[in-house]
Structure 1
């Protein structure tokens, strides 16, 4: 390994490795627990090795500034991956809205990818989204994101706008857009279930002998599945919009951190 890397540029390689590794800690797909840690570290190492020969490598000495650069690279990698994960979390939020209206909110399951509880419908939609993401090679675009980050945020630069007001506003705006997309995904099912609740209320007033609590839950589940099946085409369009928003958010955050 030492034959291929100039020892004078070894600190720069370590900085690249730190940014890529931190990026894979928070990025969707690569950061999940069912991906072995050895694979994550190995993939980060070889990707950093490839990037070492494709970007301009400055000579950096190991001193106090180098440790500050290590911290900066870690924060940059975590921030870029987190903004992508934040956008993709809109699908989980939409599933939570749907589950709450369907009555599945009490039946949350453990997500094996993240190790936290997630709604049933949200888990289903999220799995479909990840499969769609892999099918269109969108994970390659995520890797391109960390590669092109060096054009906007150079290795040797210490001027990163983490405390910039525009960065805080950008994250808040992205957070708001995430909820808007989640609402757009959930509104067909939630709206139909609201009409079912209204109909059941009318039936309960006109036919008191009918136990709507027994009839209502399976009816709402049946209507939800039918509406999900009908509106699946709209889901794919929203998933595409989520991918575009995810890449635009990554690019916008890198521009702000790079001062562009």
Structure 2
């Protein structure tokens, strides 16, 4: 019975994490592969379970299971914040450049997105794997069972201020990522406004779409090397934030 409880609680934390974490939670990632990853994590984490006492009260067991699910969801959401910030930056750029009018349903992210949103997302995924951060993320999940033992009834200590600061960092990262493109397009809008007042015969609307697209692509290519470095630093910081959150819950 105790082995069944341990396995069930392990699955609660691990599978809830996989349900929301980056990459593994995508619709394009096969469900069978999710089960394989979840099962592998459960098997890897099982030796870390020490001193677990069997819970005989079913209500208490249900409460502990819910806490494990919430803890797994919290870890997954924190690891997903950087990806959400990147998508937010891409949406701001798409809106300014004019690509937001050509949004399409993305089956991977399960949201409506345009060109720069998709491009920035896949660059982030590439940087994530190039930096081998998926191993750090998986290590954090397995190590969480040592830091926060399975069946812990009181999961306190996580600071609300700390979580708010993480959201602030995400918004700051998103604005920093989109600022160069947004400012450049804003300058173009001002120049085109001056031209339209000087030469009313010119079709500014059609011209602005072409000019904004060309300038957006040029700025993106010029900033590509710095962009990858920026994404790498923020992804590493995002995984560190998840690990710090796990430690704060003790």
* TM-score, normalising length: structure 1: 0.89
Task: State which of 126, 130, 135 in structure 1 corresponds to 2:130.
Answer: 135
- The superposition leaves residues 113-142 of structure 1 with CA deviations (integer Å, 9 ceiling, x where unpaired) of 232212320111101111221222211111
Given that 1:33 and 1:115 are in contact with CA atoms closer than 8 Å, whether structure 2 keeps it comes out as yes
Alignment partners' CA distance in 1, 2:106 and 2:229: 25
Q: Match for residue 254 of structure 1?
A: 246
Alignment partners' CA distance in 2, 1:224 and 1:167: 40
Q: CA deviation at 1:156?
A: 2.8
| Secondary structure, aligned partner of 2:154 | coil
**Pair 1:140–1:57, CA change in 2 (3 A):** farther
Query: Tell me, which stretches of 5 or more residues in structure 2 are unaligned?
Result: none
Alignment partners' CA distance in 2, 1:109 and 1:238: 27
Q: Match for residue 157 of structure 1?
A: 152
Given that 1:34 and 1:113 are in contact with CA atoms closer than 8 Å, whether structure 2 keeps it comes out as yes
Q: Match for residue 213 of structure 2?
A: 221
Q: Does 1:66 align with 2:61?
A: yes
Q: Match for residue 194 of structure 1?
A: 186
Given that 1:32 and 1:113 are in contact with CA atoms closer than 8 Å, whether structure 2 keeps it comes out as yes
Alignment partners' CA distance in 2, 1:150 and 1:172: 25
Task: State which of 122, 146, 154 in structure 1 corresponds to 2:141.
Answer: 146
| Secondary structure, aligned partner of 2:107 | coil
Q: CA deviation at 1:106?
A: 1.7
Given that 2:45 and 2:145 are in contact with CA atoms closer than 8 Å, whether structure 1 keeps it comes out as no
Alignment partners' CA distance in 2, 1:148 and 1:203: 61
| Alignment of structure 1 residues 160-175 onto 2, 5 Å | 160-161=155-156, 167-175=159-167
Q: Match for residue 14 of structure 1?
A: 8
Q: CA deviation at 1:181?
A: 0.5
Q: Match for residue 45 of structure 1?
A: 39
Query: Tell me, which stretches of 5 or more residues in structure 1 are unaligned?
Result: 1-6
**Pair 1:142–1:93, CA change in 2 (3 A):** same
| Alignment of structure 1 residues 29-108 onto 2, 5 Å | 29-56=23-50, 58-64=52-58, 65-108=60-103
**Pair 1:129–1:87, CA change in 2 (3 A):** closer
Alignment partners' CA distance in 1, 2:84 and 2:119: 13
- The superposition leaves residues 15-59 of structure 1 with CA deviations (integer Å, 9 ceiling, x where unpaired) of 112211111001000011111222212321122012112442524
| Alignment of structure 1 residues 199-210 onto 2, 5 Å | 199-210=191-202
| Secondary structure, aligned partner of 1:158 | coil
Q: CA deviation at 1:11?
A: 1.3
Bigger drift between 139-148 and 45-54 goes to 45-54
Tell me how many residue pairs correspond in the alignment.
Answer: 249
Alignment partners' CA distance in 2, 1:94 and 1:53: 41
Alignment partners' CA distance in 2, 1:169 and 1:99: 32
RMSD: 1.7
Bigger drift between 214-223 and 245-254 goes to 245-254
